[in-house]
Amino acid sequence: QQTLAKDASKKRCYDFLNMTSRSFAAVIQELDDELRDAVCLFYLVLRGLDTIEDDMTLDLDRKVELLRSFDQIIYKEGWTFNENGPNEKDRALLVHFDVVIAEFLRLKPEFQAVIANITKLMGNGMADYATGEHRENTSVATIKDFDLYCHYVAGLVGYGLSDLFAASGLESEEIAKDKALSNSMGLFLQKTNIIRDYREDLDDGRQFWPREIWGKYADKFSDFIQPENKLKAQYCLSNMVLNVLDDVPQVLTYLSKLRNQSVFNFCAIPQVMAISTLALVFNNLDIYHRNIKIRKGEAVKLILDSTDMDNVVSIFRHYVFEISRKNEATDPNFMEISMAIGRVSIQV
């Protein structure tokens, strides 16, 4: 009877995983036995944290209290959360979070420690950011703030995954040692999404592009949607893409260190999607009007091709070349972009 109940709660965790993330859930479920449950639970704990950070209906004190104590909450059997706002999909996860906690507590203590440690760092980072007195509303001021915010919400996920890979024995301890490489794995994905999501975030009243960059091209963050500002909008966009290109060399170095096939696929697929998205958004002013995504057919091809380092390198080379082709000599960022592409090209 006990076993039946345990299998039921594990299955429910995978149902939550498939409900919260479309294509990525499938990639998690392809991971080898030693890692699959730990990464699934890590993903769900992060999703729970993200849902609280994103919930605009919570008052700040309550949100900060939950963020800073989430690393203890995940040890509280039976804990659930009903104060959430209307967002159905994510609300369900927190309403049934006791199921996630029950499964979390069945993980190897070493996996629990990794997940709890990252949850603590991320929850406090999110709380610091949400209450940050040095920013009006929640906009990001300097490039340093931008890197710190992305470190909190994405770089730390890279840290935690590298620790889980090492703890599982499927990858060497070395993968978890070089924090800069793990951090870049998160920054590259997060920064590319932040560029792609310009319009969605603007409409939600959020802005993550650093003022140190966009402030060179406009007085207000929303100016870029005006047709008369299209040239400034294009240069601001290329400046943002330039900032993201810095992380490409470290992403490729990280991927080249992986030895387990299921871990490689799990890590390579999102990065390959991101470089494809980066080439798509570069000099593409549609991002100021709607959320653009790579075509389904291209995404499928990328997923099928991302199984070994040589293929991944040639995919990166293809998209970096596409960015180079779209790079315009009249763009004030033209030279810097050419040099960033040069730095990557000697590697791919």
Ligand X SMILES: COc1cccc([C@H]2O[C@H](CC(=O)N[C@@H](CC(=O)O)C(=O)O)C(=O)N(CC(C)(C)C)c3ccc(Cl)cc32)c1OC
| Catalytic positions, written as ranges | 149, 196, 206, 266
Could you say whether residue 24 binds ligand X (CB under 6 A)?
yes
- Here's the x/- map for ligand X, 141-160, by CB under 6 A: it reads as ------------xx--xx--
Size, binding site for ligand X by CB under 6 A:
22
Q: Least CB distance from residue 53 to ligand X, whole Å?
A: 11
SS3 133: coil
Which of 31, 45, 46, 255: binder of ligand X (CB under 6 A)? 46
Q: Least CB distance from residue 104 to ligand X, whole Å?
A: 14
Q: How far is CA 166 from CA 54, 114, 177, 187, 268, in A?
A: 31, 11, 10, 21, 17
Q: Least CB distance from residue 59 to ligand X, whole Å?
A: 25
Residue range at the interface with ligand X (CB under 6 A); choices 11-19, 39-47, 83-91, 303-311:
39-47
Which of 84, 119, 190, 262: binder of ligand X (CB under 6 A)? 190
Could you say whether residue 123 binds ligand X (CB under 6 A)?
no
Could you say whether residue 42 binds ligand X (CB under 6 A)?
yes
Nearest to 197 by CA among 252, 274, 254, 262: 274
Could you say whether residue 39 binds ligand X (CB under 6 A)?
yes
Which of 189, 233, 245, 252: binder of ligand X (CB under 6 A)? 189
CA distance 305 to 315: 8
DSSP-based helix, strand, coil % in the chain, nearest 5 = 75, 0, 25
**Among positive and negative, which fits the CA dihedral 237, 243, 247, 249?**
positive
Could you say whether residue 186 binds ligand X (CB under 6 A)?
yes
Per CB under 6 A, which of residues 218..277 are in contact with ligand X? 266-267, 270
Which of 16, 43, 209, 214: binder of ligand X (CB under 6 A)? 43
CA distance 348 to 346: 6
State which residue, 213 or 274, has the beta carbon closest to ligand X: 274
Give the rounded distance of the alpha carbon of 225 from its chain centre: 25
State which residue, 58 or 114, has the beta carbon closest to ligand X: 114
Residues 6 or more apart from 7 whose CB is under 8 A from it? none
Q: Least CB distance from residue 340 to ligand X, whole Å?
A: 21
Could you say whether residue 22 binds ligand X (CB under 6 A)?
yes
Distance in Å from the first CA to the final CA of the chain:
55
Question: Which tokens is 298 given?
Answer: 């291209």
Nearest to 91 by CA among 55, 128, 37, 133: 55
CA distance 3 to 23: 30
Q: Least CB distance from residue 23 to ligand X, whole Å?
A: 4
Q: Least CB distance from residue 192 to ligand X, whole Å?
A: 9
Which of 10, 12, 14, 21: binder of ligand X (CB under 6 A)? 21
CA distance 323 to 242: 10
For the chain, how long is the longest CA-to-CA vector?
71
The residues that touch ligand X, with contacts defined as CB under 6 A, are 21-24, 39, 42-43, 46, 153-154, 157-158, 161, 182, 185-186, 189-190, 193, 266-267, 270
